[in-house]
Amino acid sequence: MKGSAILTINDHPAMRKTFKGFRMESVDINYTIGGAGTGKSRRELIFQTR
Report how far residue 37's alpha carbon sits from residue 17's, in angstroms, rounded to the nearest whole number.
Answer: 34
Predicted local distance difference test score (pLDDT) of residue 35:
66
- Please choose, from the candidates 14, 10, 21, the residue with its C-alpha nearest in 3D space to the C-alpha of residue 46: 10
User: 6-28 burial, b for 16+ CB within 10 Å, e for fewer?
Assistant: eeeeebeeebeeeeeeeeeeeee
The model's confidence at residue 21, banded by pLDDT at 50, 70 and 90, is confident
This prediction's pTM: 0.71
Report how far residue 36's alpha carbon sits from residue 22's, in angstroms, rounded to the nearest whole number.
Answer: 36
